[in-house]
Structure 1
């Protein structure tokens, strides 16, 4: 049972969304009691799925959990990426002033490609990589569960499950390798 990692990634994604899109709310909820309670909820969900998996081979609960986490994570990541692509408020005002020709001695400072600075670009790349790894890692398992109802159990366990496990295992190493590659640069 490996349902804890996507839940923790979803928690990180929610925190990242709050920090980028809703910074005032993030400062209010940044305290440890909210993090502790959300971790307690995640561990309760994990224990519930583990108990269900031990006593009955119910894979639909894990499948529904993965689908929900994947949808929430994708939506929050896309909203965060969209917010990171927007220029800061000062850059918008300066860009409008440049268009109208109302410089009045003020100089416009471009922050690099697309109006974003290096920290925003680095955060954008990190979020995009994490979302791609999450998609490549958990989407095969989510797609494989409905196949269990269609094909025989022997074919499912001999042909489809090894492919899912291979995809999950190989994608699990992708994010640390990309992180090491960025550190080398």
Structure 2
């Protein structure tokens, strides 16, 4: 998502030059934040995973790929800002749109499905726990991301009006899958376990409560990331016009809410002492 995507607005939209200029300035500000904070944060997460801090590379393989994807998003933010002065960079920026539209939600889907299997279908989870299955899944996802990048490049250069269809339908499908998995996990965690008593029951309830809170935060975060932009896309499809307030809310939510997941990972890894103390 960058300023170039606003070009799918039809000519009959009556947005003033001042509003478009303000949107451009907001775009530069947000993507500068995304680059300055996203690049070092996700680089640090990759370093922690590769070093084996936490659960190891195998169990964090989806998070590793998600962070690689987010680094590409952060770099695209820098490229988008530079492209305001170097128009030749728009092609590269448009190409990398596919990483944000398809890559982030797909890897988040894999993480949600993994949690779903681990809690709701533990036998199936153990069957597909080896690293080779994660590598196969991630390889397929990266191929899909490459295809999405090529489609984005073609759409943003030739058939701009198809762009809201492209990202809105993807966000809707991916969000539906993630919400299904997370709601199923929440329901499973709320159920009381078999009859442990006393201290064991108390520890189990404490672990369930922590897992429940984590999944609940993740669910809310996903809604904040994808729902505003999805509504914006369908608003344009229906009204043949772009609502700038909706678009601004969508872009702000997409960029800023994207920092929640890395913060949660760093919290789980014990690297945020202030949150750990709380």
Which residue does 2:210 correspond to in 1? 122
User: What does residue 247 of structure 2 align with?
Assistant: 161
1:18 counterpart residue number: 117
Pick 1 or 2: higher relative contact order, CA cutoff 8 A, min separation 6.
1
Structure with higher Rg: it is 1
Counterparts of 1:126 and 1:182 in 2: how far apart (Å)? Answer: 13
Q: Distance in 1 between matches of 2:261 and 2:125?
A: 26
1:70-117 residue CA offsets vs partner (Å, 9 max, x unmatched) = 0010011011111111111224xxxxxxxxxxxxxxxx42734xx952
Q: Secondary structure at the match of 2:192?
A: coil
Aligned equivalent of 1:77? 182
CA distance in 1, matches of 2:231, 2:261: 22
Shift of 1:37: 1.4
Matching residue within 63, 66, 75 for 2:171? 66
1:47 paired to 2:146: yes
Deviation at 1:40, TM superposition (A): 1.6
Judge conservation of contact 2:182–2:215 (CA < 8 Å) in 1. Answer: yes
> In structure 1, what is the Cα distance between the partners aligned to 2:248 and 2:240?
15
> Following superposition, which runs of at least 4 residues in structure 1 exceed 2 angstroms of deviation?
108-112, 156-163, 172-182
Query: What's the TM-score once normalised by structure 1's chain length?
Result: 0.78
SS at match of 1:117: helix
For 1:32 and 1:175, locate their aligned partners in 2 and report how far apart those are by CA, in whole Å. Answer: 22
Preserved CA contact (<8 Å) 1:84 1:124:
yes
Which consecutive residues of structure 1, in runs of 5 or more, have no partner in the other structure? Answer: 92-107
In 2: Cα distance, 1:170 partner to 1:51 partner: 26
TM-score (norm 2): 0.54
Matched, 1:182 2:275: yes
Measure how far apart 1:121 and its partner are. Answer: 0.9
Change in Cα spacing, 1:144 to 1:18, as seen in structure 2 (3 Å) is same
Distance 1:73 1:84 in 2: 16
